[in-house]
Structure 1
Amino acid sequence: MFRKLTREPLIHFLGGALLVFGFFWATGTNRDPADYAINVGDSDIARLKATWVQNFRRAPTQDELDSLIDQEIAEEIYYREALRLGLDKNDPVIRRRLYTKMRFIDGEETANADPSDAVLQEWMDKYPNKYALKPLYDFTQIYLGQIDSADAKKRIDQMNAGIDPAKFAQSISLPATLTQASSSEISRPFGDRFAGQIEALKPGAWRGPITSGFGVHAVKLTGITPGKKAALNDVRQQVVNDWRADGQAAQKEKALSDYRAQYEITVAGRP
């Protein structure tokens, strides 16, 4: 019976088909060749070299470059195999990373835009207070230490009466004078509270006590440069940054709206 079956043409055909199927399964020749082609081109090699130079401040040796290329190939192989296994699915880290990259792409057009002076001036005119130049202050300060206000006031009166201020000065690593300083520049060494009190002073005599986180000070304001409306060249980079940030936000929201319009979305508990 077995010998009779082996003589049947149909059995020969099925056996041959199984052999062919096994060959293709084993060799993978039924795969899409393009999906298994990895090409490390000149631009890829230039990128690898540039990254190496940025990290090590020198060009890679040939062995180091070969190692970088092998690592690039290994990463690409594992990346593709991970996608084939679906490892990108239901992974919150990958999901967040892809979300971030898509948001970056959606705002890239505005991020790389080079607005004209007319566009920037229109933006400035829309927010005049934001780009006004702040007042600048010239002053000298004496650190009186951590004393009460009455004692500090007494010393300040004596300084205005002609007593040498050095007699009352306590040692501290703070600038004794600042010139053409904005409120934010004053805040950095002395704190916001001190800067706010400077803004209320009038030039001339020693004033105070002016308090900071260190204690109390006597301050003589010697000059004020009033604030004024800024010219574009005074604040160009700030205006460009703000214009781009606003444009990117609008571009991203439009892209998201366009994407959402293509989806049928249901949320439990929402009508």
Structure 2
Amino acid sequence: MAAACRAARRCPGHHGGRVSRALLREPLLHFLIGGAVLYALFAWIGTPVDPASRTISLSRSDQAQIAQGFAQMMGRPPTDAELSGLIERRVREEVLYREALRLGLDRDDPAVRRRLATKMDEIAAASAEAETPGDAVLEEWHKAHAGTFETGGVVNFEQVYFASEAAALAAKGQASPSGQPISLPRTVDAKSMVELGAIFGQQFAQEIAERSVAREWQGPIPSGFGWHLVRLSHREEGSVPPLAEIRDRVEADWRNSTITARRAAAYNALREAYRVEIE
């Protein structure tokens, strides 16, 4: 929490508590300074507790939520006996959770670390997952990423794979870069952008959609595997359907890209609050 607060103080526009209306609407700012949002980090294990506490309280509201969860899963409310069993299960979980904290079992556990890190990513992405973009936003996205939505067009190219961007840059000036071994075809013929997205990832397909035919090697271009140098030899232009015909696809692409961008922005803002020392 302290780290998030320090990161929040670094946010541009935050001076003595005087934040502009535009910033107040920024999901990233909410993520950084909203204590309630950070509190949601612990939703998967219940309300944060002092492991030294020996009192476990389940209010009427807690019991109602337990019953509601059962009803949503089973399609009916629980019987009195079932509700008693669910409550006892919650109590058992809470007892074991607190004793695990007391013993320090949450520390240095890779599974716990990954779960908490994933939860932080989910918090940063939550606003984009729930957001409904307007027509103007989707029209702009549709226009800016037209190649991604193109149909009927295909490309031919050679690709060489590298594990790092630096390695790809170092080999770019070679007439015939050898690259590193990977189970991907070196020569790709007559593939659409959709097919390229399925093989190499959407970012790679979008980059290819925006490249022109050329004799020299282009890149490095990122994929889901690493980095590639590409020599594009042939392109058959397709057509981009109007937004009305592919609205759901455009919205899904906007949402996925926005989630990725917001996760990165949230992490970068938090990362600035830390000093990392690597021997």
TM-score by length of 1: 0.48
Which protein shows a greater Rg? 1
TM-score by length of 2: 0.47
